[in-house]
Amino acid sequence: MDIFERISKDSGGPIGQYRERADGYFAFPRLEGELGPRMVFNGREVLCWSLNNYLGLANHPEIRRVDAEAAAKYGLAAPMGARMMTGHTRMHEHFEHELADFEKKEAAYLFNFGYQGIVSTIDTLTSPHDVIVYDNEAHACLLDGIRLHIGNKYKYRHNNMEDLEKKLKVATEVVAKTGGGILVITEGVYGMTGALGDLAGIVALKQKYSFRILIDDAHGFGVMGPNGRGTSEHFGVMDDIDIYIGAYAKAMAIIGGFVSGPKYVIEYLRYNMRSQMYAKSLPLAIVEGCEKRLEIIRSAEGDALRKQLWTVTRALQKGFRDLGFDIGPAEACVTPVHVQGDVVQATNIAMDLRENYRIFCSVITYPVIPKGMIIFRIIPTAAHTMDDVNYTLNAFTEVKEKLAKGYYDGTEVPNMRIE
């Protein structure tokens, strides 16, 4: 069968099968206006809880100024070419030194894209003789990197140290025969649930087994820990994390990422990571903008922004729990509100929130999560206020009451105001 013919007959996949009904509203929605708590959706202002703009830097006046001046100074093309060829500059080097110093590592290397960089890091670090052991709730970028590994790989139950130890015993037996090593992969913050990876528990197992730890801390970098150095700082295990990966897309609100670790390992990655060797260098305008973001994160202002972020986060999470909502093990900023229901109810609740309450948050259903569950994923930022928190808690209280009364059971929500 012709490839295109097969695609034309395909349902669209687990998510794509809903594209005709979901496109432009639940999938690929258009949020417009200035990035922040108030944005425009379908021509109306909404209270937005769906941006990974943790510290509110997306519209920080100084950040906007530096971004604009850097773009005017360098354009968006320079440097032209891959880092190894013609895309390497002193500014790239300087930013890498700053990141390594911030994370208390010997060296760091920039990624053009966090997702792409993580996939390539895992692929480059491991040989066919090595074994990968990973948390079964690992992000898609980690899973895609793990899929490239042609050696043995074992997943352990989420944050279950007993199960991890069982897998480490098996992995240890395997590498005794292959001569390879073991790489344990976890996340610092799980972006769907707000749960923290059990870094302290994983590190403790190093006393019994020989392995290296790679942490994807996309949602922890800049936010977790007293100085924003990440989840490893939060747990006091920075020196025990062998490979630390951070992304700019959350706390910095810009594209890119980095990997940090021992200098000889980073040098090896620089000369062997295909996704970076054969891709255009990160533009200078972005590098300069990132440096300014890191400067703010490390400053007293950064401390104040983190304090505001955690004030909003804790108030929101306490409020949901006090009202009887299930938000799971959320400890980080991501706050998933779990609701029992089906896809029809999820659709109706989301529409009620967006159209009647003017609250925009992402709704997640099967197949991303098990059948019968609905998650409304709320992401607090330092730009939100306590008024935003209280309004949202009141709205969800009403939604919960409506759900119990069967308000969302039909194919249409009564009194829906859609313009």
Q: Are the beta carbons of 268 and 276 closer than 8 angstroms?
A: no
Are 162 and 104 members of one domain?
yes
Write phi, then psi, for 112 (nearest 5 degrees).
-70, -40
Q: Across all residues in the chain, what is the average pLDDT? A: 91
Last residue of a domain, one of 262, 297, 332: 297
Instruction: Select, from the ranges 1-10, 78-87, 174-183, the one with the highest average predicted confidence (pLDDT).
Output: 174-183
Q: Report pLDDT for 419.
A: 45
Residue 331 has pLDDT above 50, yes or no: yes
- pLDDT attached to residue 368: 67
| Structural Rg of the chain based on CA atoms | 22
| One domain, residues 277 and 342 | no
If asked whether residues 102 and 178 sit together in one domain, one would say yes
Q: How many domains does the chain have?
A: 2
Last residue of a domain, one of 297, 314, 340: 297
CATH code for the domain of 330: 3.90.1150.10
The verdict on 330 and 208 lying in the same domain is no
State how far the Cα of 353 lies from the Cα of 351, in Å rounded to an integer: 5
Query: b/e map of 212-240 (b: 16 or more CB within 10 Å)?
Result: bbbbbbbbbbbbbbeebbbbbbbbebbee
pLDDT (mean) for 94-105: 97
DSSP state of 112: S
**Quick one: pLDDT at residue 306?**
97
Query: How much is the pLDDT for 418?
Result: 45
* Model pLDDT for residues 158-184, shown as the tens digit of each residue: 999 999 999 999 999 999 999 999 999
Residues 328, 343: one domain?
yes
d(CA 411, CA 268): 57
* CA dihedral (102, 104, 110, 116) positive or negative: negative
Q: Which of 307, 310, 320 is nearest to 377 (CA)?
A: 320
Q: Which helix (H) or strand (E) holds 284?
A: helix 284-297
In a domain, 78, yes or no: yes
Which domain-ending residue is among 280, 297, 314? 297
Identify whether 50 is part of a domain. yes
Average pLDDT of the residues in 388-410: 91
- Confidence at residue 367, expressed as pLDDT on a 0 to 100 scale: 66
My answer on whether 145 and 280 are in the same domain is yes
pTM of the full structure = 0.92
Tokens 């944050």, residue located: 159
pLDDT at site 25? 84
- pLDDT the model gives residue 150: 92
pLDDT band of residue 127 (cuts 50, 70, 90) is very high
Structural tokens at position 100? 């390594």
Residue 19, token pair as written in the block:
């594209």
Percentage of residues in the chain with pLDDT exceeding 70?
95
User: Predicted confidence band at 370 (pLDDT cuts at 50, 70, 90)?
Assistant: low
Q: Which DSSP category does 281 fall into? A: P
74 and 194 housed in the same domain: yes
Given a contact cutoff of 8 angstroms between Cβ atoms, the answer to whether 123 and 148 are in contact is: yes
Same domain, 226 and 95: yes
In a domain, 414, yes or no: no
Interval 405-417: pLDDT, tens = 888 887 665 555 5
Q: What does each C-alpha distance from 368 to 82, 185, 292, 296, 402 come to in angstroms?
A: 36, 21, 36, 35, 25
E strand residue ranges, 188-256? 212-216, 243-247
Q: Is 315 exposed, middle or buried (0-12, 13-18, 19+ CB in 10 A)?
A: middle
Average pLDDT score over residue span 194-205: 96
Domain interval for residue 199: 60-297
Residues 287 and 210 in one domain: yes
Instruction: Examine the domain organization and report whether 154 and 218 are in the same domain.
Output: yes
